Amino acid sequence: MISKILWLPINILQLILVLVWTIFCGLFGMVFALVTNPTYSHRIMGYYIFSPVILAISMVRVKETGLENILDVPAIYAANHASQLDIPIMCTRVNRPMFFIAKIELKKVPILSQYIKVVGMILVDRKNRERAMASMRTAIQDIQGGKSIAAFPEGTRTKTGELLPFKKGVFTIAKEGRIPIVPIAIVGSAKALASGSFFLRPATVELRVLPALNSEEFFNMSIEEMANHTRSLIQQEIEKG
The pLDDT value recorded for residue 1 is 46
The pLDDT value recorded for residue 70 is 96
The pLDDT value recorded for residue 169 is 85
pLDDT in tens, the chain (241 residues): 456 677 888 999 999 999 999 999 999 999 999 999 888 898 899 999 999 999 999 999 999 999 999 999 999 999 999 999 999 999 999 988 888 877 777 778 888 888 888 887 877 776 767 776 777 777 778 787 788 889 999 988 888 878 999 998 889 989 988 999 999 999 999 999 988 888 899 999 999 999 999 999 999 999 999 999 999 999 999 998 7
> Selecting from 2.40.100.10, 3.90.79.10, 3.40.1130.10, 3.30.420.40, what CATH number does the domain 2-240 have?
3.40.1130.10
Pairing mode, if any, of strands 122-124 and 98-103?
Answer: parallel
What is the H or E stretch that residue 205 is in? strand 203-209
**DSSP line for 2-45:** HHHHHHHHHHHHHHHHHHHHHHHHHHHHHHHHHHS-HHHHHHHI
The pLDDT value recorded for residue 37 is 86
Pairing mode, if any, of strands 181-187 and 76-79?
Answer: parallel
Torsion sign across C-alpha atoms 42, 104, 238, 69: negative
HSE, CB side, 13 Å, CA atoms: give it for residue 168.
Answer: 11
Q: Per the confidence metrics, is the pTM higher than 0.75?
A: yes
